[in-house]
Amino acid sequence: MDKRMLGTRGPEVSAIGLGCMGLSHGYGPPVDRRDGIALVRAAVDAGVTFFDTAQIYGPFTNEALVGEALAPMREQVVIATKFGFGFDGTRTTGLDSRPEHIRATVCESLRRLRTDRIDLLYQHRVDPDVPIEDVAGTVKDLIDAGKVAHFGLSEAGVEVIRRAHAVQPVTALQSEYSLWWREPEARILPTLVELGIGLVPFSPLGKGFLTGAISSTTTFADTDLRNILPRFTEQARAANQALVDLLSAIAARSNVTNAQVALAWLLAQHPQIVPIPGTTKIHRLHENVAAADVELTTDDLNEITAAADRIDLQGERYPEHMQRWINR
């Protein structure tokens, strides 16, 4: 697979990474550990070198799975994980980016990931109770100690990005970005380009909606987070079907899939964008990876963007209690 630089500072990674959250968190029951390991290793075989996990996924079980899966090929891959939540055992207690908590939980992440360094360490969500300068300074110390290679932020706004970057250069910002959620285009992406920071879109397929596999009548497992997302109500899915229909028309014309069109559109927005679609199915993994070879023409891209501009998408992406964790 083609490689891309995450920002101007690196690291160099595969043009499409693998978001590992869904293997153990968020979208219903976790997969069998052996199946999860097999999928991660199949991704390596397919050319993926960029793997995304976090302390909160599980909590903790996702880091352990990713660490076990990648241990035999550790030097061939780039592993990203995240800190920023407090825990009471395995129960999340809310945001916590206190420096002492960062240091302690990063040591635990290193152990679970079976490695002596974290290639890219994100603050998972901006903690309003801890100055971002303190967070960036703590990560800088971890970089100086050789425990971390690069610093990242997730769902941070422009002001926080600039303040953090002034203390410790930020390599990448992780943010939801897709044809279904284009808010980063207004202020976030121009700031990242200005500062030489890469963008790692999570949910680049709209949590599965853009693939066309989800309709207004689809039901989800009890533990699937989409049950509580306003954009996944039956009414919102019916209203937003127009975007899926657009992708289906382009995909049919190009002899590719909806997912491949959606990912190819993202890749074309800037050369330092590296989406991380997740999946629990190996055939979907290969479908997503193949999107790196899909070449949309300028006319295709303009048509998709213009048509998407005309669609009035319905539903907030998070309920109110989760919206509070988004820094804008």
Q: Quickly list DSSP for 75-106.
A: GG-EEEEEE-EEEETTEEEEE---HHHHHHHH
Crossing angle of helices 282-290 and 258-267, in 10° steps, is 40
233-270 pLDDT per residue, tens? 999 999 999 999 999 999 999 999 999 999 999 999 99
Crossing angle of helices 234-254 and 258-267, in 10° steps, is 80
| CB neighbours of residue 126 within 10 Å | 24
Residues 16, 132: Cα–Cα separation, whole Å:
29
State the pLDDT at residue 324.
Answer: 84
Range 154-191 burial, b when 16+ CB lie within 10 A, else e: bbbbbebbeebbebbbbbbbbbbbbbbbbebeeebbeb
For 3-209+269-294, which CATH superfamily applies? NADP-dependent oxidoreductase domain (3.20.20.100)
| CB neighbours of residue 321 within 10 Å | 8
Give me the tens of pLDDT residue by residue for the chain, a chain 328 residues long: 999 999 998 899 999 999 999 999 999 999 999 999 999 999 999 999 999 999 999 999 999 999 999 999 999 999 999 999 999 988 999 999 999 999 999 999 999 999 999 999 999 999 999 999 999 999 999 999 999 999 999 999 999 999 999 999 999 999 999 999 999 999 999 999 999 999 999 999 999 999 999 999 999 999 999 999 999 999 999 999 999 999 999 999 999 999 999 999 999 999 999 999 999 999 999 999 999 999 999 999 999 999 999 999 999 999 988 888 899 8
Residues 43, 57: Cα–Cα separation, whole Å:
19
Name the residue ranges covered by the structural domains of the chain.
3-209+269-294
Which amino acid, residue 120? L
State the pLDDT at residue 265.
Answer: 98
Write out the H or E segment, with its range, that includes residue 71.
none
Crossing angle of helices 234-254 and 298-309, in 10° steps, is 160
State the pLDDT at residue 321.
Answer: 87
DSSP string, 286-299: HHHHHGGG----HH
- Which one of the listed residues 57, 122, 177, 318 is annotated catalytic? 57
Helix, strand, coil shares of the chain as percentages rounded to 5?
A: 45, 15, 35
Q: SS3 of 1, please?
A: coil
End-to-end, the C-alpha distance of the chain in Å comes to 34
57 is catalytic: yes
